Amino acid sequence: MMTIGIRLIAATAMILGLFGLPGCDSASTAGQQQPRQRASGEKYRVVCTVGMVADIVREVVGEQAEVQGIIGEGVDPHLYSPTRNDIAALQSADVIFYSGLMLEGKMADALVKVARTGKPVYAVTEEIEASYLLEPPGAVGHADPHVWMDVKAWSQATRVVADALGTYDSKHAPVYRDNAERYRAELAKLDTYAKSVIASIPREQRVLVTAHDAFNYFGRAYGIAVQGIQGISTESEAGLQDIRRLIDYIVEKRVRAVFVETSVADKNVRALIEGAEARGHSLVIGGSLFSDAMGKPGTYEGTYLGMIDHNATTIARALGGEAPTGGMQGKLTGGE
């Protein structure tokens, strides 16, 4: 397990190449900072970029640290630029976790700068094998970053977190390992649930149409065809030809419902509905899905478990499958 080691340097090199940031190599990267001295009972601080990362870190770290997430509910991480307060949070953190695979592209500069100081900075996706990652057409060398949509893949991130926290705070390393394994058991149940409810959708109706290409890992993991209006980054604009192509697909496949996303504007989805209706095909919005951000803090949907439970349950029910209104644990605030 490495902090500012080969994996991070390689990732940084990719960031530098794609975003034109100043050069950074192993010679200019300081060694990892030693844990700062804390007053008795004072917790150390962990700062995370997106909610999905912050949630798994909270599950693993338990009571040993305070965890702060930067990018909140309903916010698109593809487009997010860090504020002055965000930079201050990163600088004052003891440990930093981000998703990686260029998801937080506009935060690249800030992450590189804090990494250069020797602060522990980790991409939670760093241990996922390259062969497992999806590379959409037209995105040569740029893997799809939405790996949390595959619960089995995202489960691997918990081990990265446990190892990283154990390196920083070796005294509690066994606690972090135990917490990670307990949480992985919960994730295994979620994975099984998602497979079951998606499999209940009639085969000819297993088509998921969403605002942008955030669900390809979900589609591969749970056996459902996926079509997104925009590309893997919401920075890409959907053109008229993209809308027409999808309308043709929807009418041909007799798709019954399409889905909006909480962190993406719904104008393109509504254009699909209008276009399909003009072709004599009735199409409805099947629900709102969590793609690049979770639900409100303090709610079940504001956790990673609740996020995926909501998505799988909503998709299954809207496309003719069978799923309990309250989801896997009966905790969903709305099954529609």
Check whether residue 257 and residue 166 sit in a common domain: no
> Domain total for the chain?
2
Q: 247-301 pLDDT, tens per residue?
A: 999 999 999 999 999 877 788 888 899 999 999 999 999 999 999 889 999 999 9
Reading the block at residue 18, the tokens are 């794609």
**Residue 293 structure tokens:** 């951000």
Does residue 10 share a domain with residue 112? yes
Closest CA to 100 of 117, 66, 84, 77: 77
User: End of a domain among 189, 214, 242?
Assistant: 189
Are 60 and 179 members of one domain? Answer: yes
Q: ∠ CA(109), CA(112), CA(117), 5° rounding?
A: 130
Q: What proportion of the chain, given as a percentage, has pLDDT over 90?
A: 68
- Torsion sign across C-alpha atoms 12, 228, 289, 156: negative
197 with 173, same domain: the answer is no
CATH code of the domain containing 170: 3.40.50.1980
Q: Are residues 184 and 310 in the same domain?
A: no
In the structure encoding, which two tokens stand for residue 298, read together? 């303090």
Partners of residue 261 on adjacent β-strands = 289
Query: Do 284 and 160 have their domain in common?
Result: no
User: How much is the average pLDDT of 176-201?
Assistant: 98
Residue numbers of the domain that contains 206: 193-318
pTM of the model: 0.85
Please name the amino acid found at residue 315: I
Spatial distance between the Cα atoms of 54 and 49, rounded to a whole number of angstroms: 7
Judge whether 136 and 47 are in contact, CB under 8 Å: no
Residue range 6-15, pLDDT digits in tens = 344 334 434 4
Asked if residue 130 is part of any domain, the answer here is yes
